Amino acid sequence: MFERIKKAFQRDTGDRKDPAPSSQMMHGPLSEWAASRGMSFSSGLGSSVTMGGKVGGRPWKMELGKPTRDYIHGEELRARAELGVDDDVAALIINRPLKDMLERRAYGMITDTLQTTADPRLPEEMRWLAMYDEIGWEGPPQEFWSRYAVLADTREHALAWVDNSLVDLLMSWPEPAPLPANAFMVVLLRGKCYLRMRHQPAETATLDHATTIFTSACESALDVFGK
């Protein structure tokens, strides 16, 4: 029975030919890594783990485990910080393959004559793409704009939040680096900051860099939008 459960779990958490190691297998290294950054660490049922810390004196939490979005395959890394910044600011950074996929899904819903009501299972991200305009500006390299899109309620908010240091972090993933097609987004909305991404490669270096990106996004938001 154990072998059947194990095989089923592997099918759910990644590519069949080369499944990524689960966080359950990495609890030791993960707890050590969390301690090295002054973060709390706890493990839940199955392979999920929860870590937490503070940024700018504000609490934040990070979870690693089974995905909560159908566009993420394998393990999902998600984080949330209660920043208490201006509630009216809305901005997000999203990788282009994910943006394109969500837009195609939304378009399919609109053009499907048999679809008369919105599917309640659809992610909130699809509404954001409809509500906010894509913002571009001179400064970041073309490679950045090829990989990511920045959307916001106003141009000023996008430019203020996505500073040069955040752009540099988003373009400097350690090797082996996540593929540009891997789902990734950082969102500033309703006074909170969120991160959601596919945790692949399942390396501590990936986790460490994602954490740095997230906390840097939080610090930038606190600097420019703090009350």
- Its domain, for residue 23, covers 2-225
pLDDT digits (tens, 9 = 90+) for 101-151: 999 887 676 666 555 455 555 678 888 998 999 999 999 999 999 999 999
pLDDT digits (tens, 9 = 90+) for 34-67: 999 999 999 876 678 999 999 999 999 999 999 9
pLDDT digits (tens, 9 = 90+) for 64-108: 999 999 999 999 999 999 999 999 999 999 999 999 999 988 767
Tally the domains of the chain. 1
Q: If pLDDT is split at 50, 70 and 90, which confidence band does 152 have?
A: very high
- Global pTM? 0.83
User: Does 9 have pLDDT greater than 70?
Assistant: no
Task: Give whole-number Cα distances, 196 to 2, 52, 157, 186, in Å.
Answer: 31, 15, 21, 7
Q: How far apart are CA 208 and CA 223, in angstroms?
A: 22
Q: How far apart are CA 206 and CA 201, in angstroms?
A: 7
Residue 26 CB coordination number (10 Å)? 20
Res 29: pLDDT? 85
Least reliable range by pLDDT among 10-19, 26-35, 65-74, 162-171 = 10-19
Q: Which residues lie closer than 8 Å to 217 by C-beta, 6 or more apart?
A: 93, 161, 166, 186, 188, 193, 195
Q: Which residues lie closer than 8 Å to 120 by C-beta, 6 or more apart?
A: none
Contact (CB, 8 A) for 51 and 41: yes
Question: What is the arithmetic mean of pLDDT over 28-32?
Answer: 87
